[in-house]
Structure 1
Amino acid sequence: MSDAPLYDIAEGPDGGRGFWLTAADGVRLRVGLWSHPGAQGTVLLLPGRTEYVEKYGRAATDLRARGFATLVIDWRGQGLADRALDDPMGGHVGDFAEYQLDFDEMVGFARAQGLPEPYYLMAHSMGGCIGLRALMRGAPVKAAAFSAPMWGILIAAWMRPMAVALTTASRWFKFDSRYAPGTGAKSYVLTAPFTGNTLTTDAEMWDYMRQQALAHPELGLGGPSLGWLKAALGECHALTLLPAPNLPALTALGSQEKIVDTAPIHARMAGWKGGALDLYPGAEHEVLMERLAARTRFFDSTTALFRAHR
């Protein structure tokens, strides 16, 4: 462990620090920590695909205001963590089990640093997929909050067999590092207009994300590789076959969700004893980056859940 950059673009609480970590397989990772004396616990915040520590600086501010410390991770292949491909904009992983090595290193860091307990899980999109597997493996947290978890990928029914065939062939014929169809090396927030974007209805939060991408393009990421897509589809399917973890959970989902498949979310939460699904009318994919009323509701409800399970 050693000090790593934590850029001012995060707009997080005072005293934030970045650290380099090394996963069990030698991959270098980065975490961002915002802690404070008297914290009621530490939130292990798991970002989605393409995301990075600084994107959750404002979330750390919201959590500190409610009495919690925050630890965020750069997953392998994104942010300032090691990237698997020669093309740094290509998001790639061979197996989602690799992300569990990252999560284990994150938990090990929290324990080694003596971060305030209990620990709680907060996970967005791809982080929700990784987080659910971590919970099923016995992650040391008291409760979990999800935002639009990637428990299924939104692919048209007629395209799904084609996607499975293509991703399977990519492994056999050694082109699994190529971009998935319809994606490329460009950052979404730098190429898409605000009007009609699939992330947020809040113009100021959209600008927050854009300005971060402009200030530090090295944090950005383009589309997923065929290998990543194959691994993600396999993990999402595998998770559907397993029972829900035995701990309280709250899942937030915008009514205008267009990125993850919502059916597995409804099915999972309907069968989760101690779990609840919270729907946000008019919200897009990123509830944590939505309008102030939605963000306030999310942080109030999730931290109330955390406090109730100490």
Structure 2
Amino acid sequence: MSQAAPYHADIAGNSDGICHWLTTVDGVRIRVGHWPTPNAQGTVLIFPGRTEYIEKYGRTATELTKRGFACVAIDWRGQGIADRLLPNRAVGHVDVFEDYQLDVKAALLHVKSLGLPEPYHLLAHSMGGCIGLRSLYEGLPVKSAVFSAPMWGIKMSPALRPIAWGLSSVSKQLGFGGVFAPGQQAETYVLRATADDNTLTSDTANFDILQQQLKVQPDLALGGPSLHWLNESLREMRVLAQRPSPDIPCLTFLGSDEAIVDPTRIYERMANWPNGELVVLEKGRHEVLMEVPDIRTRVLDGAAALFSAHSPEMA
């Protein structure tokens, strides 16, 4: 059963979004938004990254609806205005990484109840790429998948990696799993960084949009991850890395200046993905969907072409 939820059209750059509250089977309230379009040839399931929220994808939804696809996006548990899981709402946290699959299942039931058109396609960014890969293994009913800088590994120095594993592994047993991981803090990265030195986008106008969104709607902001989230994510990525790539048409975009996720893991995965292609975008940073216009357009056109090729009208 869904209920109407807020959609902040003033910051989304798109007035057509409609949001609902959903309750997952384990009792967590999440928010799901959708953007319908007449005569859509399918529906794109947008899986956002860590710290992200539905309105961040309003402009992406505009471009995809222009290209003939309805869209759906999720506020994952622990971020956006979905239920936060710790008393300190600034800490990014999840109890078990696979709990995100409960959010996926609730969203999928909602999509079906809305009657949004099939086939479905996946567009997954960063942490959403890790969640999305697990979803594909669990039978997510999509005909194709596009990944943007997927979190199949986290970029960190070789010296830091064993410390991250060790400290995060004992954090829950010792009762400090809910504290920030080393180097993380309550203030969200977008408001700490500048247009010149941020690792997200080289497009200053789009970076300004990100900052303004969180200044206008501060409840959407999220700080760094907890030690427990770090351990859960490391474990999930290790498990997924041991599995062969799904046999589904796939296109993955990676900026050449990526500084957040581990490019090596992406290269390795895509080198062994049947019907998969990796596109490296010169001078692109982490958020290729919010990059300079030529990069952004290349990603959107490439995604739409793959989706269209695997939709009935274009098959």
TM range (shorter): over 0.9
In the TM superposition, what are the counterparts of 1:1-310 in structure 2 within 5 Å? 1-310=2-311
Distance in 2 (CA, whole Å) between partners of 1:46 and 1:118 is: 16
Structure 1 unpaired stretches of 5+: none
Tell me if structure 2 keeps the 8 A contact 1:9–1:54: no
Tell me if structure 2 keeps the 8 A contact 1:10–1:58: no
Tell me if structure 1 keeps the 8 A contact 2:144–2:250: yes
What letter is aligned with 2:265?
A: P
What letter is aligned with 2:288?
A: V
TM-score by length of 1: 0.99
How far residue 168 of structure 1 moved from its aligned partner, in angstroms, is 1.1
Distance in 1 (CA, whole Å) between partners of 2:218 and 2:250 is: 34
What letter is aligned with 1:25?
A: D
Distance in 1 (CA, whole Å) between partners of 2:131 and 2:17 is: 25
Distance in 2 (CA, whole Å) between partners of 1:14 and 1:55 is: 13
Structure 2 unpaired stretches of 5+: none
SS at match of 1:183: coil
* Percent identity for Structure 1 against Structure 2: 52
Distance in 1 (CA, whole Å) between partners of 2:176 and 2:272 is: 38
Q: Aligned pairs, how many?
A: 310
TM-score by length of 2: 0.97
Distance in 2 (CA, whole Å) between partners of 1:270 and 1:9 is: 41
How far residue 12 of structure 1 moved from its aligned partner, in angstroms, is 4.5
Tell me if structure 2 keeps the 8 A contact 1:12–1:60: no
SS at match of 1:70: strand
What letter is aligned with 1:20?
A: W
SS at match of 2:143: coil
Tell me if structure 2 keeps the 8 A contact 1:200–1:206: yes
Aligned residues: CA RMSD: 0.8
How far residue 9 of structure 1 moved from its aligned partner, in angstroms, is 3.3
What letter is aligned with 1:218?
A: D
Tell me if structure 1 keeps the 8 A contact 2:146–2:251: yes
What letter is aligned with 1:236?
A: M
Distance in 2 (CA, whole Å) between partners of 1:220 and 1:24 is: 25
Distance in 2 (CA, whole Å) between partners of 1:193 and 1:13 is: 25
Distance in 2 (CA, whole Å) between partners of 1:13 and 1:189 is: 21
Deviations 1:287-308 (A, max 9, x none): 0010111111001011100111
Q: Which runs of 4+ in 1 moved over 3 A?
A: 9-14
Distance in 1 (CA, whole Å) between partners of 2:16 and 2:187 is: 33
Distance in 1 (CA, whole Å) between partners of 2:144 and 2:159 is: 37
